[in-house]
Structures are given as structure tokens and as C-alpha cells.
């Protein structure tokens, strides 16, 4: 029979606390140079991108200004054309010109008097002025040629 002997635990050996020196990180000069070079490259690329954006924006502005200038000249030309056409309409729609053209080319004459009916039972006679052999002084309608008689 085996006897069992209880052993007392062996106390752990205490290590004397050594004071460790503080560690300092020594930067590798190669690694620092790589980081600096990378930063320079990133800054350079950012500056180039920003400058490119400024150039593109300036080109877009110049193109818009050019388009605006062309449109303004077209508007001015259209307004001059419109003014000329308004003047032509005023000249061509002149009553004296229309009367002269009608008598000279269409052989129309004004009647001596006109009956004006107001209501159902009233009649008035009004004398109209007669055109005295006047000749048209304004342009004729398109395709018409002034005749001598």
C-alpha cells in the first residue's frame, strides 16, 4: 500500500522587480524619407488637380461669354429687322397709299356719297373726299410695278 504524502506547495520564487528602461522609438531615416516623399507627391497631385479645375472652369466661362456675345449680336440684328419691318408695315398700310394704289392699279374710285343707316329708319348721306390724281409715294406691294398712267 502506498502511502500518500501531502506535499506542501512550494512558494513561488519571487523575482526581483527590475526597473526596465523606457523604450524610445527610433525612427528609421529611410521610412521618414519615404513618408515625406509621399506627402510631397500627394500635395503636388492635389495642387495640380485644383489648378486643372480652375483652368477648366475658366475655359467654360470663356465659352459661355462667347455664346452670350453671339446671342446678343443676333438679338440686336433681329431687333433692327423688326424695326425695319414695323416701318414698312406703317408705310404700306397708310390710307393715302392704299387709296392711290387702288385707284391706279385696281381702277377703284370712291363713290360720291355714302348712305349711313343708323337704326332701322334713319338714312343720312355723307359726302366722301375724292382723291385728286395723287400718285403713290410709298413702296408698292411685292410683285407690283408702278405704271405710267
CA gap 135, 105 in Å, rounded: 11
Predicted model pTM: 0.42
For residue 131, what are the contacts with CB-CB under 8 A and spacing of at least 6?
99, 100, 103, 110
CA 104, 110, 111, 115 torsion: positive or negative? positive
- Residuewise pLDDT in 10s, the chain (149 residues): 567 777 777 766 776 677 887 888 877 888 888 999 999 999 999 999 999 999 999 999 999 999 999 999 999 999 999 999 999 999 888 888 888 888 898 888 877 766 666 665 545 555 555 555 544 445 555 555 555 44
Q: CB 97: neighbour CB atoms within 10 A?
A: 17
Contact predicate 88/77, CB 8 Å: no
Beta-carbon-side half-sphere exposure of residue 145 (alpha carbons within 13 Å): 2
Pick the closest to residue 144 from 112, 92, 105, 107 (CA basis): 105
Amino acid at each position: 500500500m502506498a502511502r500518500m504524502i501531502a506535499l506542501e506547495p512550494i512558494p513561488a520564487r519571487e523575482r526581483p522587480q527590475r526597473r526596465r528602461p523606457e523604450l524610445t522609438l527610433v525612427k528609421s531615416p529611410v521610412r521618414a524619407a519615404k513618408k515625406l516623399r509621399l506627402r510631397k507627391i500627394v500635395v503636388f497631385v492635389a495642387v495640380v488637380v485644383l489648378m486643372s479645375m480652375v483652368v477648366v472652369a475658366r475655359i467654360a466661362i470663356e465659352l459661355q461669354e462667347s455664346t452670350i456675345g453671339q446671342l446678343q449680336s443676333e438679338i440686336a440684328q433681329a431687333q433692327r429687322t423688326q424695326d425695319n419691318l414695323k416701318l414698312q408695315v406703317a408705310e404700306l398700310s397708310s390710307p393715302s397709299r392704299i387709296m392711290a394704289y387702288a385707284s391706279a392699279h385696281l381702277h377703284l374710285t370712291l363713290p360720291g356719297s355714302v348712305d349711313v343707316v343708323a337704326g332701322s329708319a334713319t338714312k343720312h348721306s355723307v359726302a366722301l373726299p375724292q382723291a385728286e390724281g395723287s400718285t403713290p409715294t410709298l413702296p408698292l406691294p411685292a410683285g407690283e410695278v408702278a405704271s405710267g398712267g
